[in-house]
Homo-oligomer: A and B are copies of this chain.
Amino acid sequence: MRRGLFIGRFQPFHKGHLYVIKLALNEVDEIIVGVGSTQLNYEVDNPFTCSERLQMIREALKEENISPDRYWLIPIPDIYNNYVWVSHVESLCPPFHLVYGGNLHTLKLFEDAGYQVKKVEIYGSGEFSGTEIRKKMLNGEPWEEYVPPAVANFIKKIKGVERLLTIAKSK
């Protein structure tokens, strides 16, 4: 049994994230999806609560017919010490053997702790980035195509774009 780990903030969960999970599931038996910075929410860079991000991800993976037996969905609060953070992740997640990611910083931390890591070149472009998607939301541009349909629906249901706009209007 081999397990992969993939950690993101998922603000929101987008098609780039989904791509990594599907790629990983071709290589490992189970993938741990770690939802990072759980304590951040109602901020321009982190509009969604951990609760909302877990719901988005679960609905998107169900929509893709990915069996819940194949993944673990685990909230990971920040601890503000990068070196120690790897051990903090280990204390929360089942054992893993390979770390997937697009972020060199995160991969470096796991690599220096002795883990095998795999940099995923996101196929598309910078549009598969939470930052870009939030920018589109703020600018009133279409953003729905960059996230799985279940996520687009969820964000509409919770009026997520309105929330982001309200927060952004504040200094």
Q: Interface of A with B (CB < 8 Å)? A: 38-43, 49-51, 54-55, 58, 62, 67-69, 72-75, 77, 79-84, 86-88, 90-95, 103-106, 108-109, 112, 131, 163, 166-167, 169-171
Q: Are A84 and B87 in contact (CB under 8 A)?
A: yes
Which residues on B sit within 8 Å (CB–CB) of A104? 166-167, 169-170
Q: How many copies does the complex hold?
A: 6
Which 5 residue pairs spanning A and B have beta carbons closest together? Answer: A87-B87, A68-B68, A105-B170, A42-B82, A39-B81
Nearest-CB residue, chain B, relative to A129? B171
Task: Please pick, from B42, B43, B83, B169, the residue contacting A90 in the complex, using a CB distance under 8 A.
Answer: B83
Q: Are A41 and B87 in contact (CB under 8 A)?
A: no
> Contacts A40-B82, A50-B92, A84-B87 given; 13 further ones with Cβ under 8 A?
A39-B80, A42-B82, A49-B92, A51-B93, A54-B72, A54-B92, A67-B68, A75-B92, A79-B84, A83-B87, A104-B167, A108-B167, A112-B163
Instruction: Known A75-B75, A83-B87; judge A92-B42 contact (CB<8 A).
Output: no
Alpha-carbon distance A20/B82, docked complex (angstroms): 30
Interface centre among A54, A67, A81 (most CB of B within 10 A): A81
Which residues on B sit within 8 Å (CB–CB) of A109? 42
Minimal beta-carbon separation of A20 from chain B (angstroms)? 16
Instruction: Known A51-B92, A94-B55, A108-B42; judge A84-B82 contact (CB<8 A).
Output: no
